[in-house]
Amino acid sequence: MSQRIALVTGGAQGIGLACAEALAEDGCQIVLADIKPSVHAAAETLGGIGHEVDMGDPDAIDRLFDRVEDAVGPVAVLVNNAGIANPGDFLSYSLAQFRRVLDVNLIGVFHATQRAARTMVAQSIKGAVVNMSSINAQVAIPAIPAYCASKGGIMQLTKAAALALAPHGIRVNAVGPGSIDTEMMAGVNANPEALKMALSRTPLQRIGTAREVGDTVAFLASDKASYITGETIYVDGGRLGLNYVV
């Protein structure tokens, strides 16, 4: 992994930053992309470069890759982590809300993967793409219909891209987190009853850490996973295997 350029989207904080930290420890040169201005400071902590980008804008994605390739070189590891949930009531959920989530979580992932892969193929780079899925690719929450749809789409996009790019030596996998100790879980962690409910659905009886997700991403991006492609690895403490709650 030494000196391979790794681009992590949604990398300013949380799981994205944890992915970047794990990849940096494996020797990757880090580039972070995020819609938040704090991406610059986050990248600096890893000796990398930060770019402010809306990953729901295909033109902005193209400009991002152009800038990265001009400044540091071709991306060999792409982590498609940027995502939004945009919760709301199902009956009043607008098409604009739904489309915005898919623009970032699914269409943006497709476009970034395609753009990265074109350069990898042109330069004979046997790269790796890791998409951020979710247990909500398999289960669902009624208040986040677009998010659930996008993560189900990520599961299938990961398989399709893996098959398409395998002849070029490019691997594509996904990671599906369960309940992870991030900003999104802060409200649950602060509410004993909500935390109790979350743990009741988690056989390992604890909330996962962002770094545990990051380490899984780094593994899939590395040569240790050289014979793995088209898979989604769930980092969920056993949740998806749980048949019932006692």
Quote the CA–CA distance of 56 and 100 in Å, as a whole number: 7
C-alpha distances in Å from residue 94, one per residue of 44, 77, 89, 105, 136: 38, 35, 9, 17, 20
Quote the CA–CA distance of 55 and 2 in Å, as a whole number: 27
Is the Cβ–Cβ distance between 162 and 220 less than 8 Å? no
DSSP 8-class letter at 198: H
Quote the CA–CA distance of 7 and 49 in Å, as a whole number: 10
C-alpha distances in Å from residue 3, one per residue of 73, 140, 161, 215, 243: 11, 39, 25, 18, 44
Taken in order 84, 87, 91, 95, the sign of the CA dihedral is negative
| Structure tokens given for 71 | 């400044």
- Positions annotated as catalytic residues are 147
User: What does R_g of the chain's alpha carbons equal in angstroms?
Assistant: 17
| Structure tokens given for 74 | 């071709």
